[in-house]
A and B are shown apart, each in its own frame.
Chain A
Amino acid sequence: MSESAGTATQTPGPSGQGDPPKLGNIIKLAFRTLPYLRGTWRDILRLAAVALPFILLAIPVTMLSTDLVVNRLLRGEPVTSIEATLLMLDPAQFVDVEKLTVESRQILRGRMVLFAVVSTVIGTPIFLGVVFYFLRLIQRINQSLRMHMMAQVQAMSMRHHASTRVGESIYHAYQDSSMVANLMFMLIRPIPSMIRAVWLVFFVYLLDWQLTAMLGALYVLAFLLARWFGARLRVEFRKAREANTRLTARIQETMAGIKVVKAFGIEAEEQGHFDRHSRDAFHSAYRARSLLAAYGIVSFIFSAIPPLAAACYLAVYANEGRELVAGAALAFTGFAVWNLGAYSYAMGRMNSAAGAVRGLMGMWGVTQDMTVGMERAFSQVDLKPEVQNADDAVAFPGLQDEVTFENVSFAYQPERPVLQNVELAAKAGTITALVGPTGSGKSTLVSLLLRLFDPDEGRIRVDGKDIRGFTLESLRDNISIALQENLLFGTSIRENIRYAVPEASDETVRDAARVACADEYIMEQPEGYDTPLGERGTKLSTGQRQRLSIARAVIKDTPVLILDEPTASLDADTELRVLQNLSEWGKGRAIFIITHRLSTIRQADHIVYLRDGKVEEQGSHDALMVREGGAYRRFVELEEGSREEQPAAAASPALGAVGGAK
C-alpha cells in the first residue's frame, strides 16, 4: 500500500522518479531567476558601488594594521617610514631606532586603539545601511514574485483547482515564491565568496607560490567533492521529501475521513499507519541530513588542510627569516621577509580563502534540497491560464434572444467525462431548471457558461455567437451567479452584497436584499448592513448566507442569472417568496436554476433533466409529466411519494441476504 501511495504522491518533475536533477539543470534553474531581478540591477550596482571602495581599501589597511600590531607593537620592531607618516609618528622616535621603547610602544598602542574606534564608528552605520538596503531589496523581489504567483493562481482555470488541493495552491504561492527568492539570494551570495577565492589564489602568490599551489589544489578537490556529494544529496533529499509528503497526505486523509474513523472505531489502525509513515519520514530525513552533515565535515577537513600546512611551514620560514616572493614590493608594510606579522597576515588570507571555499561548499550542500522544490516552483510560474481571451475578442453585447449549448462535452480528467453532448436552449425571459442527481454535471454546465473552463467539444452560443469570441471580463460582467457554497468575505454584510458592484448605493444594496428576502434578517443584526462577517460568514445560518449570495447576484443586474441550489437551506415559505420575487425581477433575463426541490422546479418554464453528464429529457413540467415511464416523471413520482409498491418487493431479498450474513 505504501508503494502505491508513493507513486501517487511523486513529485512531478521533468527528471522523473528517483533520477536526481543534473548539475546543469540546477544552473539552468538558477539562471531562470534572473528575469525576476529585472528592475533591481540598479540597486545591486548601487550596493556594489558603496561596498567596493571599502573592500579595496581593506587590503592595505589589513596589511598595515597586522604589521603594526604584530611586528611593531607586540615585537617592538621599528615602524616603517610610511607607517609613521600615516599615523603621524615622529620618525626619530619610531623609525630610526634599533627597537621601540616601552613608551613609544604605548604611544603606538594609543594610536591603534584610536584608529580602531574611529573606523568602527564610521563603519558600523555604513554596514547597517548596506544590510538594511539589501534586506529591503530581497523583500521587494520576493513581494513581486508572490504577486506574480498569486495572479497565476487566480488566472488558472478551475480545472486546475479541481485537481489541485486548495492547500497546495497556497503552498505554491506562498512557499515557492520565497523559494525562488532564496535561490536568487543563493545566486547572489556566492558571488563575493567566489571573487574572494579567485582573488586570493593570485594574491597569496605575492607571499609564497606554494600557497597558491595549495589553494589551487583545494579548489579542484572542492569541486569534485561537491559534485560527488551533490548528486547523492539530491537523491536522499528527494526521498526524504517524498516520505514527508506521504506522511502529510496520511494525516490529511485521516482528518478528512475522521468521522468515518471514529464511527467505525478504526483509530488504532490509523494510528498504526501514521506511526509507520512517521518513522519512514524520519528515517529518510535521518539519511539525508546525516549525509549533509558528513558533507559539511568532509569539506571542512579538506579546506582546513592548506591553512594547517601553511601554519606549520610558514612558521619555519619566519624562524629562518626567509624572503617573501614579492618582498621588495611589500617592504613598505614591513613584510619584506617572513616574520610574525607576515605570518599572521598570510594565515589570515589562507583562512579567508579556506573560509570562502567552505562557504561555497556549504551553500552548495544547502541548495541541493531546493532544486527539488525549484522545479515545482517554476512549473507553477510557467502554467498558462487555460481560458484566455481570443485575440479578436469583442465585448459581450448583451442578450437578445437565447443562450444555446451545442453538443457540449467536458471532462476534468480525460478518463471521467462530466458532460457529454449536451444540447439545450434557454430563451431570454424564461427560467430554466437543471435537475438531476448530485454529480450529474449541473454545476459544471453553468461553469462553462461563465467560461471558468472551456468545453472540450462543442460550443456555447449567445444569440448565435460563440462565447469564446467575447472577452472574459465582459462575459463575466454580464452573468451573475449565486453559488451552491455560499462564500462570503470577511467584511461587512453591505460590502459582501456589493462585492461585484463596489459603487452600488446603499439603497440599491437594500433593494437587492429585499429581492432575496434578506432585508428582514439583516435589519435584525446588531449593526444592520454594517455587521461584519467572520471568515466564510460563520455567524450566519446557511439559509441566511444563501439569501445573501442571491442578493449579491441580483445586484449585478445582468441579463443572465445563475442560481446553483440557492434555496436548498431555505424553509419552504421563504423559498417561495424568493422565487416569486425573482421571477418578477427576472423579466427579459435568462435565469438558470440548479435544484433538487420539486417546488422550485415547478416554477421553471423549461426543465433539463441530467443524468451522468447527459441530457436525459427536457421540456416543460407538464410536457415531461405526460411521458409514461420518463425519467423526470419517475423522479417526480418518487419525490412526491406517489409510487411505492412494486419495487420494494424486488429489492428486499438483497438486504435480507446481507442481514442474514451474520
Chain B
Amino acid sequence: MSDVKDGVLDAPVERTPPISNREAARLMLRSFEYLGPLKGQMTVKIGFQILAMLPLIVLPWPTKMLIDHVIQGLAVADLPYSYPFFVAPLAEAILGMSPTGMAIFVGSFLSGMLLLIGAWGMSGRDQTFANVAQGTDEASRSENHANQAFSYMGGILGLIDYRWTLRLTHNLNHHYRSKLFGRMQRLPMTSLDDQRIGDSVYRVMYDTSAITEVCYRLVLTPITAPLHVALVVWVIYLSYGDQPVVIWTALSIVPAALMITFPFSGALRRRMQAARDTGSETTTTIEESINNILAVQSLGGQDREKKRFDDDSWRSFAEWRKLAVLWILMIVLAGLAAAAVGLFVVYELTDKIFTGEMTVGDLTVLMAYYLQIGFSATNAGRLWVYLQGRVIGLRRAFDLMDAEIDHQPEIAKPLKDVREGYVFEDVSFNYPDGTPAMKNVSLEAKRGTLVALAGPAGAGKTTLAYMLPRFITPASGRSTIDGNDIMLLDRQDLRDRIAFVFQEPALFDATVGENIRVGKPDATDEEVQRAAEVAGAAEFIRHLPEGYDTPLGRNGGRLSVGQKQRLSIARALVRDAPVLILDEPTAALDPETEFRLVAALREASKDKLVVVIAHRLSTIRHADQIIFLQEGEIRERGSHEELMQREGGAYRRFVELQRGGGGVR
C-alpha cells in the first residue's frame, strides 16, 4: 500500500485494496438486507427453477426408446432395466407399435417438449438469456448485469420464466438505485465537493446491479443446484440401483467439479483486481488528458499524453490477458476432467454392454444424467468465483449506503421563522482529512443587517457560509438561531428559512420560469417576474424566444455565465426567506447590474439577514458588518469606515491593494 500515491487515490475509480474471502462473504450476505418486499417473487422464481428440473429428468428416456426399440429393434420386455415410474406411461403407450409408429409417437412427444421447454434430447437444450454485446468495458458489462435474467428452459415456459425473472431483477435493481440515489442526495456538502459527478452516476447506474445480481444468484443457485443433483442421483438410483459403479460415479462428479473450480478462485480474484486496477488507471489517464486538454494543447503535450495512454492501455490489456489465460486454463481443466470421467464411464459401462447387462440406450441415459450433474455442480462451484467479480461493485455501493449523511436530529425542533439571527460561539471546523478549516469563530449576525464575509481565497468564507444552513456540522463550538442550537433544528425547516446563491450557478433542464420557481414552487408569475427584475435577469429573459417558458437545456446550455448567475439570484430572491446568503454573486455581473443588485440587497437587509461573500469592494463596503477572515480565523470585524480607520489593519491593507494604491510602480 505504501507505494500508492495520493494521485491514484484521487482517481475516480479507486485502486482497491484486496478484499478477503471473509469480507466478500459478509458483503454478499448483506445484499439480502433489501430482499424483503420481493420475497414472493423470488419464491415463484425458485418454483420455476424446480419446475424446469422435471422435464430434464424425463428427456433422456425418449431418446433411449428411439435407440433401443426403433433402431436396434429390441422389445420392451427384452430390456435389462425397466423404465422408471415417470416414463412408464410412455413406455406402455409404445408397446406393440411398429418401429415407424414408435418413431412418430416419440417424435410428437418430443415436439411437444420442444415447444414447452425448448429441449428435446441430449444435444439440444435451450437456455434463455438476452445479453447484448455492447462492448467489453466495465460499464456495458454492468449494463448486461443490470438486466441479468436467465431461465434454464426455453420454449413457452422459458419465456414466461425469463420475463418473470427480468421483472424481478429490475424491481430489485430499481429499488437499490432509488435507495442509493436518495442517499447520494443526502450526503453532506463537504463530501459532495470531492465526489465526482461521473462517479456518482457510475455508482447509481452500475454498482447497484452488483447488489441485485449477488443477491439474486446467491438465493437461487445454492437452493437449486444441490436439489437438482440430488434429484438426478435419486433417479439414477431408482433405475440402476443394483450397479454400484453407476451410483458412485454420479456422486464423484460433484467433488471433482468443485475441486477444479475452487483452487482457482483466489488466483482469479487477484488477477481480476489487477486487471481492473490497470483498467481504471487507463481511464484516469485519458480523463486527465481530456480534462487538461487546454493545457495539453497549449503546452504541446499531445504526443506525450498519447504515449502515456498507449502504455497504460497496453498494460491493461496485458493484465486482462493474464486473467483470460487463467480462465481458459480453468475451463480446459474442467473439460479435461469431464473427458476423463467420460472415458472412465465408457470404460466401466461398456463391459456391461458387452455382457448384455445394459443396452446402448441405457448408456445414453446415464451419460445425459452425468452431464446434468456436472453442469449443476460446475455452476455452483463457479458461483463463488463469479460473484467475487462483483464484490468490488458491491463494496462501492455499500460504502455509499453507509456514508455519513446530512445531520438530522432524532427529535427535531421546528423552526418557523428567524427573528433575532445567528450567534456563533467558538465554532471550529476541520476538513475531512483533518486539517482545520475554521478555528474558534465567534460572531453575531442579526436579522435586519447586511453582513459581508471578506478575505483572501481559501480564508474559509464559504465554509462559514455553509454552516448557516447546516450544510456542514462544526467540529466544536455552538451555533444558535434565536437561541436554539442549530444542530437540534429540523433540517427541512432550517433550509426553508434560507435562500442560498452559490458561486457556480447550477440550472436544471427546465424552463426559465421553472428554474426560478425552484426557490418557491408556488410562486405567482408576478413574483417570478419581480425577482427576475431585481436580479437583473428580466431584460434578457424578455429577449428569449419564449420568455419565461423558454427551455434552457442541460445546465442552462444556452445562457452565458452572467445570465445563469442572474437566474440563480432570482431563484433565491423569489424564495423570500428571512435569511439570504450569496456566495460571490457579482463576479459575473457587469458594474451596472452589480450596483443595482447591491442596492437591492441593502434594501432587503432592512427586513432580513443578508450574508454576502465578496471580493469586490463595491459589494463589501456597504455592509453593516464586515467580517474579515484569514486562514480560517476572524481577523477583524466592523463597518467599512471603522475598519478603514485602523492604521495597518488587515482589511485596510486588503482594500488598498485592491484599489491598486498600495505603492505599485
Contacts and interface: CB of A to CB of B under 8 A. Distances in A.
A5 interface: yes
A315 B100 CA distance: 9
Contacts of A109: 346-347, 350
Cβ-closest 10 pairs across A and B: A572-B657, A438-B588, A257-B506, A490-B7, A312-B107, A439-B561, A655-B600, A292-B130, A599-B660, A651-B599
Contacts of B139: 171, 175
9 contacts: A74-B353, A109-B347, A136-B321, A154-B302, A175-B140, A311-B66, A369-B134, A439-B560, A502-B304
B509 interface: yes
Nearest to A499: B299
A589 interface: no
Interface stretch (B78-86, B147-155, B238-246): B147-155
Contacts of A573: 657
Given A252-B197, A534-B9, A487 B291 contact: yes
A127 B510 CA distance: 58
Given A182-B135, A275-B178, A647-B595, A601 B660 contact: yes
A73 B350 contact: yes
Main secondary structure of the interface of B (DSSP, over half): helix
A73 B70 CA distance: 20
B71 A279 contact: no
A271 B306 contact: no
B216 to A, nearest CB: 15
Interface stretch (B182-190, B229-237, B270-278, B479-487): B182-190
Nearest to B171: A282
Which has the most chain A C-beta neighbours within 10 Å: B133, B174, B282? B133
A641 B127 CA distance: 78
Nearest to A600: B660
Which of A117, A153, A252, A351 has most B Cβ within 10 Å?
A: A252
Nearest to A263: B500
Contact of A255 (B201, B293, B456): B201
Contacts of A345: none
B249 interface: no
B279 to A, nearest CB: 9
A222 B146 CA distance: 30
B297 A476 contact: yes
Contacts of B198: 167, 252
Contacts of A143: 310, 313-314, 317
Nearest to A110: B347
A421 interface: no
Given A158-B294, A319-B71, A639-B616, A262 B471 contact: yes
Contacts of B587: 438, 596
Given A151-B306, A370-B133, 4 more contacts: A251-B200, A319-B73, A416-B560, A538-B10
A338 to B, nearest CB: 9
A258 B406 CA distance: 13
B469 interface: yes
A437 B124 CA distance: 72
Interface residues of A, number: 193
A658 B574 contact: yes
A311 B588 CA distance: 80
B294 to A, nearest CB: 6
Nearest to A186: B133
Nearest to B100: A316
Contacts of A167: 197-198
B591 A634 contact: yes
Given A312-B107, A366-B131, A648 B360 contact: no
B534 to A, nearest CB: 5
B607 to A, nearest CB: 6
B592 A634 contact: yes
A261 interface: yes
B121 A311 contact: yes
Nearest to A635: B591
B455 to A, nearest CB: 9
A135 B360 contact: no
B339 interface: yes
Contact of A259 (B129, B204, B502): B502
Contact of A450 (B297, B558, B591, B601): B297
B527 interface: yes
B491 to A, nearest CB: 8
- Dominant secondary structure at the A interface: helix
B95 to A, nearest CB: 17
A124 B329 CA distance: 10
B573 interface: yes
A251 B201 contact: yes
A150 B306 CA distance: 7
A274 B573 contact: no
A301 B154 contact: yes
B518 interface: yes
Interface stretch (A196-204, A213-221, A539-547): A539-547
B71 A124 contact: no
A79 B181 CA distance: 72
A440 B593 CA distance: 14
Contacts of B67: 315, 340
B192 interface: yes
Contacts of B120: 304, 308
B596 A647 contact: yes
A656 interface: yes
A249 B509 contact: yes
B653 A8 contact: no
Contacts of A265: 492, 495-496
A263 B502 CA distance: 9
Given A158-B294, A654-B600, A258 B658 contact: no
A440 B271 CA distance: 52
A468 interface: no
Interface stretch (A14-22, A283-291, A323-331, A394-402): A283-291
A592 to B, nearest CB: 13
Contact of A452 (B298, B309, B534): B298
Contacts of B167: 286
B200 A264 contact: no
B447 to A, nearest CB: 13
Given A135-B324, A290-B162, A301-B118, A319 B99 contact: yes
Given A257-B506, A477-B300, A301 B660 contact: no
Given A74-B350, A286-B170, A124 B336 contact: yes
Contact of A251 (B110, B205, B332): B205
Contact of B555 (A253, A270, A532): A253
Contacts of A305: 114
B77 interface: no
A70 interface: yes
Contacts of A620: none
Interface stretch (B257-265, B370-378, B395-403, B617-625): B617-625
B428 interface: no
B91 interface: no
B181 A251 contact: yes
A76 B519 CA distance: 90
A45 interface: no
A33 interface: no
A340 B72 contact: yes
Interface string B407-451: 000000000000000000000000000000000000000000000
A320 B73 CA distance: 9
A297 B154 CA distance: 6
B456 A571 contact: yes
Given A260-B506, A534-B9, A556 B287 contact: no
A70 B360 contact: yes
Interface in B315-356: 317, 320-321, 324-325, 328, 332, 336, 339, 343, 346-347, 350-351, 353-355
B267 interface: no
Nearest to A260: B506
A237 B132 contact: yes
Contacts of B186: 267
B405 to A, nearest CB: 11
Contacts of B664: 576, 599, 602-603
